[in-house]
Structure 1
Amino acid sequence: MTENTHYHDDHGHGGTEIQPANTGVIWRTFWILAAITAVEFTLAFLMHAGGFRTSLFIIMTLVKAFYIVGEFMHLRHEVKSLIWAIVVPVIFIVWLLAALLTEGGSIFELR
């Protein structure tokens, strides 16, 4: 094999360079999720137990879940129709769970 037919470059990478990881996005995501979690912990200690506090926790948990799905599962970078095809059923499932939880307690009132 002559020097002219050698397919690798001088560094032995074969012409493909691996790009460095974009750790800035990962750290930004970490700090946003850490801040939401810190707010959750603060509210857990400062607020009295009740429906309002529970509602806040559910909302913040859903915000974190959608943020995680958007960032780490790359849903944020997809076409809008795919995003809506995933988000709308989730909204109905959350509504169903809320309805079941609120109406489920009424069975004890009938007795």
Structure 2
Amino acid sequence: MAAHTQEHKSHTALIWKVFGILSVITIVEVILGILKPDVLHLTKILGTSPLNIIFLVLTVIKAYYITWFFMHMADESKSLRRAVVWTSVFLIIYLATLLLIEGSYINDVLSPLVKWSY
């Protein structure tokens, strides 16, 4: 019977690199959430503030890193990776668009009735 040998590569450096990237993104999100710069918070682009768009993009980047490295998608077949990634991308875009459109509609309808505090 032939012995099966598998090399085991240590991914410690990669894990620390991904941890560092996720930490930096989270720190940026927290700082932006605390400071809420007026130029990013009170301006409107595509029906929402640039701050919301920045949060959405940073969240998608974090989701990518978590899925790709910690859920081991990098080791899967190309077709499975594409199925998971593209389905997630389209679902995230759809939900974000739906939330932004509906949130803008609710704001437009209720703004004469409710005083929004900024």
Give the TM-score category using the shorter length.
0.5 to 0.7
Determine which structure has greater relative contact order: mean sequence separation of CA pairs < 8 Å that are 6+ residues apart, divided by chain length: 2
Q: Which moved more, 1:60-69 or 1:43-52?
A: 43-52
The counterpart of 2:24, out of the listed 35, 60, 73, is 35
Which whole-Å CA distance do the structure 2 matches of 1:91 and 1:20 have between them? 30
Cα RMSD of the aligned pairs, angstroms, is 2.6
Give yes or no for the alignment of 1:26 onto 2:15. yes
Structure with greater Cα Rg: 1
* Count of matched residue positions in the alignment of Structure 1 and Structure 2: 93
Task: Name the residue aligned to 1:99.
Answer: 97
Q: Which runs of 4+ in 1 moved over 6 A?
A: none
Q: Percent identity?
A: 36
1:81 corresponds to which of 74, 79, 82 = 79
List runs of 5+ in structure 1 lacking aligned partners. Answer: 1-18
Give the aligned partner of residue 3 of structure 1: none
What is the match of residue 12 of structure 1? none
Q: Secondary structure at the match of 1:59?
A: helix
Counterparts in 2 of 1:96 and 1:22: CA distance versus 1, 3 Å: closer
Query: Shift of the alpha carbon at 1:21?
Result: 5.4
- The range that moved more, 87-96 or 99-108, is 99-108
Point out where structure 2 has 5 or more consecutive residues left out of the alignment. Answer: 1-7, 43-48, 110-118
Deviation at 1:40, TM superposition (A): 1.6
Q: What's the CA shift string for 1:1-54, capped at 9, x where partnerless? A: xxxxxxxxxxxxxxxxxx695422222221111111122223232523351101
- Residue equivalent to 2:46: none
Kindly state the Cα deviation for residue 90 of structure 1 after the two structures are TM-superposed.
Answer: 1.2
Comparing 61-70 and 71-80, the one that deviates more: 71-80
Choose 99-108 or 27-36, whichever is displaced more. Answer: 99-108
Q: Which amino acid aligns with 1:35?
A: V
